[in-house]
Structure 1
């Protein structure tokens, strides 16, 4: 397995040059970029700007395993506002275009949000409808859509997630599995065994279940994730792709926290993975 780090793991003011320098020095194999409305990679980024960004990252010997975004919380694919839903689809298409340009094989997609205003069954229908279109668009670019399990009150069991994707029935739509996100209402090793070959990429972070809210997210080996069971489950499904950390950096010592994060990932991959 390879270890990657999400761009969100760096301070907000960190330039891409600083991020790739620190990531490379810390021993990461790849960096996961984020599409935003403003930033290193934005909705208005030109092909020329994207290619320049790619060259910077390659100069440091880093790979680009995947692309993520937080914009699908703002422009939900299941919103009651048709303009917001359309904007969300445009975000995913932009991600597909960028991924194709940068030779990234997987993009992370939040499939929608269930809320007081948007019922579960409506979200299910709207999300599948959008993903049928987006899956075909991404397929032409040879890009895989990874649907992430997030705290959106939607697709809250592995059986439902699997059924949801199988019903869409497009080969390049799978799962971007987040280990830490599951702990509030499930067991990551069970999700991994059930979703199996549908898992395309894996996010790693830890979570303290006693806290029970966003403050419970913590760095690796500091929460309640049973990493032995998680790694055994990944081995059982023959997953051998990236583990990508998605944990905010220390506000004062970001470089040190990233070094520690890299060391924790080494332990999980090398020590835990080889201890059976």
Structure 2
């Protein structure tokens, strides 16, 4: 089955996605039903709590719905599974933490091989944690030996090699849009994903990262059902990356665009973290911009 037929099959789509809890907060919108958004934060943002279980319990208390971890460098699967079962907080996915350093777009074949091996381990770790996705930055435009075409072609080749493992374990590889010189228009990212053409690859759409290049809502409409999960941050021309809700992202328009594409899924904050009070503020701001 190719990617396009998969996206049109609701039965297959449901089978590919992990169980999701009810959202922690969903204030009724004045004009339409609230979005089905499930909140999380990046693991490194949680600076309170000592043990894995402490961090899970803290996030549950603050209104988050689940967790996103990292690979390599995350806690053991045994610790995570125990904390998840104790709190009822699922791990929805994790981040490949080496994708910038050891890139799938590298001009070095050995680096590409190592990057693919790291991605394969991240897929295994996601499965062990109970997650259903790995966030991936596919490369970086960096000169004559790593042009946009190089990043495109090399990363597509390497991603195709991991798809048998991804499909066997039920873990999707989700491409994040970042400031790496690659796919800086929504049409480019759409075409990149369509060239990979697999139900096991989609977009991990970062709402704030694209605001530098154009309205976030336009990207959402162009990418459509290719968007599987969201990273949540804000950016403004005058204040750069800032607190969620304080930048130039048009959040009402973002919500409307997400409704138009029938989005339902995980939204993970990617901002400066901190202790309990800071994490509570982030949860409140996410509720305000996504669920109000």
**Residues 120 and 270 of structure 1: CA distance in aligned 2, closer, same or farther (over 3 Å):** closer
Counterparts in 2 of 1:87-98, with a 5 A limit?
Answer: 87-98=114-125
C-alpha contact (below 8 Å) 1:8/1:247 kept by paired residues: no
Counterparts in 2 of 1:36-115, with a 5 A limit?
Answer: 36=72, 39-41=73-75, 49-115=76-142
CA apart distance, 1:221? 1.0
Distance in 1 (CA, whole Å) between partners of 2:243 and 2:96 is 21
User: How does the TM-score come out when normalised to structure 1?
Assistant: 0.87
Question: Aligned residue for 2:268?
Answer: 244
Instruction: Count residues in correspondence.
Output: 255
User: How does the TM-score come out when normalised to structure 2?
Assistant: 0.82
Counterparts in 2 of 1:188-227, with a 5 A limit?
Answer: 188-211=216-239, 216-227=240-251
C-alpha contact (below 8 Å) 1:16/1:40 kept by paired residues: no
**Residues 154 and 246 of structure 1: CA distance in aligned 2, closer, same or farther (over 3 Å):** same
CA RMSD, Structure 1 to Structure 2 (Å):
1.7
**Residues 69 and 133 of structure 1: CA distance in aligned 2, closer, same or farther (over 3 Å):** same
CA apart distance, 1:15? 4.5
CA apart distance, 1:171? 1.4
Question: Aligned residue for 2:279?
Answer: 258
Distance in 2 (CA, whole Å) between partners of 1:101 and 1:171 is 21
Alignment match of 2:259 (pick from 206, 231, 235): 235
CA apart distance, 1:130? 0.7
CA apart distance, 1:8? 2.4
Distance in 2 (CA, whole Å) between partners of 1:225 and 1:260 is 18
Distance in 1 (CA, whole Å) between partners of 2:130 and 2:74 is 17
